[in-house]
Amino acid sequence: MIYKNTKINCTQEELDEFINNISIKYEIRGFDEDFNGHKIENPTGDPAAKYYVLQVGDRVYLQPHAPYQQGFIAIKEVNVHKIVNEHAEKIIDEMIINNFAISPEGELQSLRRLTSELMFSLAEKDFETRSIKQGQANIMLIMAKNDIK
């Protein structure tokens, strides 16, 4: 199965179950609020900026600006949900790839196994073909001996 241009080793049902079992929680906080007793710096300098604490499965992220974007883009009330959802989606993608991606070594083993199975199947077909031809030759020989046309 292919997931976002990566070959993975699971069924759609297994993938859906994996995704559905990942808990996602987040809190939006102002920079005036401490986190675990520590002041969080506002890298954007925007007084309306927020930060969030995102938990995806057992992973926790404290994010003071929009991730995956160039520069320090402020997180504000108008964009926070979009930013958090995109961040969570990228984390889940990473979790899926880490759990299910087929490694090049695994891909090579799979190709070797398939090649071996194909070679065995071809050998069986070759044996069957030779047996059929031998049977036909025997029939023709019997027909010739008995002058059957």
What would the DSSP string read from start to end of 50-112?
Answer: EEEEEEETTEEEEESS-TTSSS-PPB-TTTHHHHHHHHHHHHHHHHHHHHHBPPHHHHHHHHH
Determine, yes or no, domain membership for 30.
yes
pTM over 0.85: no
pLDDT tens digits for range 19-48 = 999 999 999 999 999 999 999 999 999 999
pLDDT of residue 103 exceeding 90: no
- Token pair, residue 22, equals 């990942």
Determine, yes or no, domain membership for 106.
no
- Mean pLDDT of the 109-132 span: 78
Determine, yes or no, domain membership for 131.
no
pLDDT tens digits for range 137-148 = 777 777 777 777
Determine, yes or no, domain membership for 126.
no
- Mean pLDDT of the 97-125 span: 79
**Cα–Cα distance, 28 to 77 (Å, whole number):** 9
**Cα–Cα distance, 19 to 56 (Å, whole number):** 11
pLDDT of residue 95 exceeding 80: yes
Determine, yes or no, domain membership for 15.
yes
* H-helix or E-strand spanning residue 26: strand 24-30
90 within 8 A of 68, measured Cβ to Cβ: yes
Determine, yes or no, domain membership for 84.
yes
pLDDT band (50, 70, 90) for residue 122: confident
Determine, yes or no, domain membership for 11.
yes
In the prediction, which pLDDT does 134 show? 81
> How many other C-beta atoms can be found within 10 angstroms of the C-beta atom of residue 28?
16
Domain that holds residue 54: 2-100
Count of structural domains within the chain: 1
Determine, yes or no, domain membership for 133.
no
- Token pair, residue 138, equals 């025997």
